[in-house]
Amino acid sequence: MTGIRRLAQHLDISIGTVSRALNGRPDVNEETRRRVLQAATELGYVPNQSGRSLRQGTTNIIGFMMQTGTEITGQGDTFFMSVFDGIQTVFARHRLDLVALLCSSSEDPDDYLKRVVARGFADGLILSATQRHDPRFEFLAKRKIPFVTLGRSLTDVGQPWLDLDFEGMAQISIDRLVARGHRRIAVTRPHDDVNLGHLFVDQSARALAGHGLALDPELIFSSLPNEAGGYQVARQLLAMTDRPTAILLVNETIAIGFYRGLSEAGVKPGRDIAIIGRQSPQSHFLSPSLTGFTLSRRDLGIALAEALLATMPAFSHLYPDADPRKVWSEDLIEGESDAHTLPA
Amino acid sequence: MTGIRRLAQHLDISIGTVSRALNGRPDVNEETRRRVLQAATELGYVPNQSGRSLRQGTTNIIGFMMQTGTEITGQGDTFFMSVFDGIQTVFARHRLDLVALLCSSSEDPDDYLKRVVARGFADGLILSATQRHDPRFEFLAKRKIPFVTLGRSLTDVGQPWLDLDFEGMAQISIDRLVARGHRRIAVTRPHDDVNLGHLFVDQSARALAGHGLALDPELIFSSLPNEAGGYQVARQLLAMTDRPTAILLVNETIAIGFYRGLSEAGVKPGRDIAIIGRQSPQSHFLSPSLTGFTLSRRDLGIALAEALLATMPAFSHLYPDADPRKVWSEDLIEGESDAHTLPA
C-alpha cells in the first residue's frame, strides 16, 4: 500500500503539501491538488486510517440514515439514489465516504440511531424521514454529533436542514385546479407520522380556504409510499358515491399504481379526473403524461452535503456560504393528467 | 446508556447468559433469548463498542458494496432494497448492522474497495455487480476479509456466492418462444462487463443452437439497466428493416421504458411482438401484463447473509448447513406480453 511519504517522493513535493491537498485544504492551488489526487489514485494511496482516527478523532465516513423494508421499498430507492450522487460529488473533494445506514422497518429508528452512534464509526450523519416529533435530533445534539436533516420537524435543535417545498406544491396545485373549476379536490398523505404529510395536508386546506372551499376529511387518503399504495387509493376513490374530480399525489411512487387502479375501471387521467403529482424516473413513462413537480435531486444532494460540512470543524471554513436551512422549490412540468376542466 | 450489567440485574439472570443471548449463541433457550432482546430494546441497551472492538477485533458492521450514479439508479435500488430486508432479518439475530457502501459511478470500484478496507470498519463484505474478471475478490482474499458475492465471475478465490439462474431464464425463454414459432429472437445485455450479461447471452445462443437456430449478432442489444435504456432498445429495434418477432429483457427495470418506446410506435406487446422479461414492483403495473421471471428477494437476502456468516469464525458454527454457493432459479409468471404466436 502506498503511504503519504511515497506519494510525496513520487511527486517531489513536501508531505505537508500532499497532506493538505488530500484533505481538501484551501491553501493548495488547484493544479497541485489535481496532480496529488491523480497520483494518489494511480499509486493506490490509502490513508493510514487507524493513525488518522487516533490523531484527529475522525473516520472520514458520513452516514445517511434511511429506512428499509418491503412496504417502503418503492419510495426510498427511487428518490435517494440520485441524491446520493450529489452528496458524493461533494464528499469526493475531501475523500469522505458516504455509507447508507439501513434501518429496518421492523426496528425503532431511535433505538437504531443509538446503536449506530455507539458504534462510533461515522463523523457525521444525515437523517431522512423526519417525523412530526423526532427524538433523534436531541439525541445527536446532546452528543455534539454533526448532522443535517433532509426534512423539517416540530423538534428543532438548531441543526441545519433542507426540505422540499411541500407547502408550495400544495398551493400551486390547488390554485391551478380551482382555476379549472374543481371544487371537490382530494389529497394523499403518507400513512405514518412523517412531517411532510402534515405540511402538505395543512397547506392544501389553507389554499382551499383561500378560495372559500373546505378540505373534506373524506378526501384525505393515507397511503403507503409505493405502487401498491397508489393502487389502493384509486380503489377507494372509485368506490365513493361522490367522487372527487381532482387529486394531488404527494409521493412520487404512488402515481404508477394510481394510474393502474383507474385504468382497470376505465377511468382516464386528464379526461375523467385531474391529477397533479411528482415526477420520478418511472413517471416519465406514464400515459397520459403526468402533470407533476420535479427538482434536481443531485443539486439537493450537493446542498445537503455542503450544509453538513459547514457544521463540522474540519470543513466549516471551506463552506462559509452554505445555506444552513433551505426550502427547495420544485418546478411544475405540465402534462396531460390535469387537463380535465369542469364547466364554470 | 444501559450496559450489560444493568440488563442482567433487570432480568435477574447472569451476565454470561445475557451476553450469550445477545451474541446469538445456540446454548441459550429461545424464551430466554426473546426476554433478553426485548429487555435490551426496552432499556435502550447499547454494547460498549470500543471495548468490543478491542477485545474481539470486530465492529459488528457488514458492508454491502453497491454502485450509485445517475445512469444506474434505476437498477440498484429496486432490486437491492428488498434483498437488504432479508439480510437484515438474519443480522438482527446477532445484532449485526448492515450498511450500504455506495461506490460512485465516477470512481473505480477496485480503488473504492481498497479505501473501504483501509478504513477498517466492517467485519465482512457483500459484493454485487460482479464483473467478468473481478480483482476485488483477490484483494479481499489476500487480506482474509470474509466476503460473499451476489454474482459469479471468472475470477474465483473459493469465496461463497449466490447468483440468479440467468442460464435457466435464457433456456426456458428460448424454448418457450421457439415452441410458439419464433425464429428471430432478440436478447438484451447490460452495457458493461458485468458477468451476468455473458451468462445470459451465451446461454441464449446455446439454447437457440439446440433448436438449430443462430443468435444474430444484430439482435443483441446493449442497454443501460434503467428505463431510458429500455426505451433506447425499443427505438433501435423499431428502426430495423428485419425486426425480431420476440425479445428477452435481462434487466428488470428496462421493461417500462421498452413498453413506452413500443407504445409510441403503436406496437403492442403480445400482439405485435413477444416479450419475456423479469418482474419488478413496477412491472406489475404494465399493460398488457408482462410475462417474466420472479423470485423472493427477501429469501435471497437471507441466504446471502447466512452464506457470509458461515465463513466468519464467530458465527460459522451456527450455520453449518448454509449453502456456500447456489444458483437461484426464478419462477416464470405468465402474462400477456408473449402471447404473440407465429404461424407454423
For the stretch B163-200, pLDDT in tens is 999 999 999 999 999 999 999 999 999 988 999 999 99
Q: Which set of grid coordinates corresponds to residue B310?
A: 458461515
Pairing, β B291-294 against β B274-278: parallel
E strands, chain A, where? 61-68, 97-104, 124-127, 147-150, 161-164, 185-190, 220-223, 246-248, 274-278, 291-294, 325-328, 331-333
Side-chain-facing half-sphere of B125: CA atoms under 13 Å:
22
The whole-number pLDDT of residue B267 equals 96
Measured at the CA of A164, the angle between CA A339 and CA A104, to 5 degrees, comes to: 110
Q: Write out chain A's pLDDT in tens, 344 residues.
A: 467 777 888 888 888 888 878 776 667 787 887 788 778 767 766 555 443 333 344 788 999 998 876 555 444 456 777 788 889 888 988 889 999 898 887 788 899 898 888 878 789 999 998 999 999 999 999 999 999 999 999 999 999 999 999 999 999 999 999 999 999 999 999 988 999 999 999 999 999 999 999 999 999 999 988 888 999 999 999 999 999 999 999 988 899 889 999 999 999 999 999 999 999 877 877 889 999 999 988 899 999 999 999 999 999 999 998 889 999 999 999 999 999 888 76
Strands in A220-223's sheet, in edge-to-edge order, are: A220-223, A185-190, A246-248, A274-278, A291-294, A331-333
**CATH 3.40.50.2300 residue window(s) in chain B:** 61-164+296-328, 166-294
The whole-number pLDDT of residue B71 equals 56
Residue A28 neighbours by CB under 8 Å, 6+ apart: A17, A20, A21, A36
Q: Which residue has the cell 382530494?
A: A186
Residue B230: closest C-alpha in chain A: A285
Query: What are the φ/ψ torsions at residue B151 (nearest 5 degrees)?
Result: 125, 145
The whole-number pLDDT of residue B50 equals 40
| CATH level 2 (architecture), domain A166-295 | 3-Layer(aba) Sandwich (3.40)
Give the integer Cα–Cα distance in Å for A36 and A15: 11
| Separation in Å, CA of A230 to nearest CA in chain B | 11
What sections of A193-344 are H helices per DSSP?
195-210, 227-238, 254-264, 297-309
Give the integer Cα–Cα distance in Å for A59 and A125: 12
Residue A120 neighbours by CB under 8 Å, 6+ apart: A59, B49, B50
Residue A104 to residue B85, Cβ atoms within 8 A: yes
* 8 A C-beta contact, residue A221 and residue A284: no
**CATH 3.40.50.2300 residue window(s) in chain A:** 61-163+296-328, 166-295
Does residue A26 have a cis bond before it (omega within 30 degrees)?
no
The whole-number pLDDT of residue B47 equals 56
The whole-number pLDDT of residue B253 equals 84
Give the integer Cα–Cα distance in Å for B88 and B110: 26
Domain B166-294: CATH superfamily, name plus number: Response regulator (3.40.50.2300)
Does residue B288 have a cis bond before it (omega within 30 degrees)?
yes
The whole-number pLDDT of residue A75 equals 43
**CATH 1.10.260.40 residue window(s) in chain A:** 4-47
* 8 A C-beta contact, residue A86 and residue A300: yes
What sections of A93-179 are H helices per DSSP?
109-119, 135-142, 166-179
B287 in A contact zone (CB under 8 Å) = yes
Give the integer Cα–Cα distance in Å for B101 and B303: 20
The ipTM, to two decimals, is 0.71
| CATH level 2 (architecture), domain B4-47 | Orthogonal Bundle (1.10)
Give the integer Cα–Cα distance in Å for A177 and A339: 10
For the stretch B62-100, pLDDT in tens is 999 987 765 554 444 567 777 888 898 889 888 899 998
Pairing, β A97-104 against β B97-104: antiparallel
Q: Which set of grid coordinates corresponds to residue B274?
A: 413477444
Task: Enumerate residues 9 to 28 of chain A having a beta carbon within 8 A of any beta carbon in chain B.
Answer: none
Assigned CATH for A61-163+296-328: 3.40.50.2300
Task: Enumerate residues 82 to 141 of chain B having a beta carbon within 8 A of any beta carbon in chain A.
Answer: 82, 84-85, 88-89, 92, 95, 97-102, 104-108, 111, 114-116, 118-121
| Separation in Å, CA of A63 to nearest CA in chain B | 9
| Separation in Å, CA of B28 to nearest CA in chain A | 23
Residue B80 to residue A82, Cβ atoms within 8 A: no
Domain B61-164+296-328: CATH superfamily, name plus number: Response regulator (3.40.50.2300)
Give the residue ranges of chain B where pLDDT is below 70.
1-2, 24-26, 41, 44-57, 69-78, 344
In Å, the largest CA–CA distance within chain A is 80
Query: What are the φ/ψ torsions at residue A114 (nearest 5 degrees)?
Result: -60, -40
